[in-house]
């Protein structure tokens, strides 16, 4: 059998431990899927795979047990998925019958967001689709996730780029009855950014993380939301070398700024990636260039707006598996 494994991988198939067998990865940007596509996935699994799917942590489907020679047929079968999910949001797919054009940049995952979740400060799935349009297809290895609030149900802190929805609470002191619900709750579940003075509430903006809890708790709508804002956490990862959670890079920025930073990051990768390696995750590139270079390049032409702030320095920390330290 003569298979170009590089092309196979780029086509969103996998080289598996069973020789000659592959597995297909289906993207579900935002983790939000119309159930009609289950029929297509089912058909692929039953006709070409082993009748099972693996639900991935990135909210995609992996269909295992596919003989490599069936790849062209599988690709034709999934054309409706590519068309309905990818081209529908503006992703350019060169040939709908040839399967996925790239696999490096992973599925953009998202929490359920404000279509269901009361805590959500945004429609996470919709933002994920906008990002999908912006970055796919792309071979660079990047993981992005969108989460509606700092509860971070999608684990944006384990991504290269984690996008967290923020609400700017605006206060109408006339409507406040001084019940204290927002103050107690902010202290209990968030950051203690609120205090009572003269029976009315004060918000310390430097402590506030824009979770929006105060807005949800207020019985009289004294707290309401203004425009949507975003926090960006960067370079979280798992992996063998140095697992770590992402650190805050930007806060209180608008959606356009987020999109521009992401687009710039691909240029940054292009500028600095070590082409002698088969692949290099963006986090390791940042480890090499240092944060200041990353910051400078991804912020090119970015409007941070009035409230936006940038981390002056970041200590990514994380964890090195030093056996000698642990076991002596």
Partner 1 sequence: MGFEFTMDSFNKVLEDISKNFIFYAPRRIPGKGAFSDTDVVVYQEVEGFGQIELDEKSRFSPKEVINPITQTLFYFNENGYTEPETNNKGIIIFCRPCDANSFKRLDEIFLNNGPFKDSYYESLRRKVKIFVIECVQGFENCFCVSMGTNRFDDYDAFIRVAEDRITCDVKDNLLPAFVKHGISAEMRPDFISENAVKVAIPDQVNKTIFTHEMWREYSERCIACGRCTVVCPTCTCFTMQDIFYEDNHKCGERRRVWASCMIDGFTEVAGGHDFRPDKGMRMRFKAMHKIYDFRKRFGYNMCVGCGRCDDVCPEYISFSNCINKVSALSREVNG
- Of residues 4, 197, 324, 325, which one binds partner 1 by CB under 8 A? 197
Q: Does 173 engage in binding with partner 1 (CB under 8 A)?
A: yes
Shortest Cβ 194–partner 1 spacing (Å): 16
Shortest Cβ 39–ligand SF4 spacing (Å): 27
Separation CA 59–CA 147 (nearest Å): 13
Q: Which is nearer to partner 1, 55 or 177 (CB)?
A: 177
Q: Does 199 engage in binding with partner 1 (CB under 8 A)?
A: yes
* Tokens at 318, concatenated: 């994380």
Tell me which of partner 1, ligand SF4, none is bound by residue 198, counting a contact when its beta carbon lies within the kind-specific cut-off of 5 to 8 angstroms: partner 1
* Contact between residue 32 and residue 79 where contact means Cβ atoms under 8 Å apart: no
Q: How many residues does the chain have?
A: 328
Please list, in sequence order, all residues whose beta carbon lies within 8 angstroms of the beta carbon of residue 259, skipping any fewer than 6 positions away.
130, 131, 134
Shortest Cβ 213–ligand SF4 spacing (Å): 4
Shortest Cβ 206–partner 1 spacing (Å): 20
Shortest Cβ 152–partner 1 spacing (Å): 16
Q: Which is nearer to partner 1, 189 or 300 (CB)?
A: 189
Shortest Cβ 187–ligand SF4 spacing (Å): 8
Q: Which is nearer to ligand SF4, 82 or 183 (CB)?
A: 183
Q: Total binding residues for partner 1 by CB under 8 A? A: 31
Nearest to 108 by CA among 27, 173, 197: 27
- Of residues 151, 224, 264, 289, which one binds partner 1 by CB under 8 A? 224
Q: Does 188 engage in binding with partner 1 (CB under 8 A)?
A: no
Shortest Cβ 61–partner 1 spacing (Å): 29
Label each residue of the chain as H, E or C. CCCCHHHHHHCCECCCCCCCEEEEEECCHHHCCCCHHHHHHHHHHHHCCCCCCEECCCCCEEEEEEEHHHHHHHHHHCHHHHHHHHHHHCCCCCCHHHCCCCCCECCCEECCHHHCCCCCCCCHHHHHHHHHHHHCCCCCCECEEEECCCCCCCCHHHCCEEEEEEEEEEECHHHCCCCCHHHHHHHHHCCCCEEEECCEEEECCCCCCCCCHHHHHCCCCCEEEEEEEEEEEECCECCCCCCECCEEEEEEECHHHHHHHHHHHHHHHHHHCCCCCCCCCHHHHHHHHCHHHHHHHHCCCCCCCCCCEECCCCCCCCCCCCHHHHHC
Residue 221's CB is within 10 A of a number of other CB atoms, namely: 10
Q: Does 212 engage in binding with partner 1 (CB under 8 A)?
A: yes
Binding site for ligand SF4 (CB under 6 A): 111-113, 117, 119-120, 124, 147-149, 151-153, 169, 176-182, 186, 190-191, 193-194, 201, 203, 208-214, 217-220, 222-223
Q: Which is nearer to partner 1, 198 or 313 (CB)?
A: 198
Q: Which is nearer to partner 1, 135 or 218 (CB)?
A: 218
Q: Does 319 engage in binding with partner 1 (CB under 8 A)?
A: no
Site string for partner 1, 75-114 (x = CB under 8 A): ---------------------------------------x
Separation CA 210–CA 260 (nearest Å): 22
Q: Does 159 engage in binding with partner 1 (CB under 8 A)?
A: no
Q: Does 167 engage in binding with partner 1 (CB under 8 A)?
A: yes
Q: Which is nearer to partner 1, 50 or 221 (CB)?
A: 221
- Binding site residues, partner 1, CB under 8 A: 114, 118, 120-123, 148, 165, 167, 173-179, 181, 197-199, 212, 215-221, 224-225, 228
């Amino acid at each position: 059998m003569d298979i170009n494994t590089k092309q196979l991988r780029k086509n969103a198939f996998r080289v598996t431990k069973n020789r000659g067998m592959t597995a297909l990865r289906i993207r579900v940007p935002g983790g939000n899927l119309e159930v009609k596509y289950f029929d297509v996935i089912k058909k692929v699994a039953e006709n070409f795979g082993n009748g099972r799917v693996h639900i991935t942590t990135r909210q995609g489907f992996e269909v295992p047990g596919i003989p490599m020679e069936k790849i062209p047929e599988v690709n034709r079968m999934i054309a409706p998925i590519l068309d309905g999910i990818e081209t529908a949001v503006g992703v350019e797919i060169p040939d709908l019958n040839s399967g996925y054009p790239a696999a490096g940049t992973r599925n953009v995952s998202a929490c359920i967001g404000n279509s269901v979740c009361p805590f959500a400060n945004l429609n996470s799935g919709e933002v994920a689709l906008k990002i999908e349009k912006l970055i796919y297809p792309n071979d660079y290895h990047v993981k992005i996730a969108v989460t509606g609030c700092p509860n971070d149900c999608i684990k944006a802190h384990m991504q290269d780029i984690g996008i967290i929805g923020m609400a700017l609470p605006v206060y109408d002191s006339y409507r406040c009855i001084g019940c204290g619900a927002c103050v107690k709750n902010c202290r209990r579940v968030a950051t203690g950014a609120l205090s009572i003075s003269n029976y009315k509430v004060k918000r310390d903006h430097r402590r506030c993380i824009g979770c929006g809890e105060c807005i949800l708790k207020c019985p009289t709508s004294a707290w309401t939301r203004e425009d949507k804002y975003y926090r960006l956490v960067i370079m979280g990862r798992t992996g063998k070398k140095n697992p770590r959670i992402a650190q805050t890079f930007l806060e209180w920025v608008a959606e356009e700024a987020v999109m521009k930073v992401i687009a710039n990051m691909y240029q940054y990768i292009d500028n600095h990636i070590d082409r002698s390696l088969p692949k290099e995750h963006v986090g390791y590139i940042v480890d090499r260039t240092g944060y200041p270079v990353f910051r400078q390049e991804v912020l090119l032409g970015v409007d941070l707006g009035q409230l936006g702030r940038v981390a002056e320095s970041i200590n990514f920390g994380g964890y090195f598996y030093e056996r000698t330290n642990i076991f002596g």
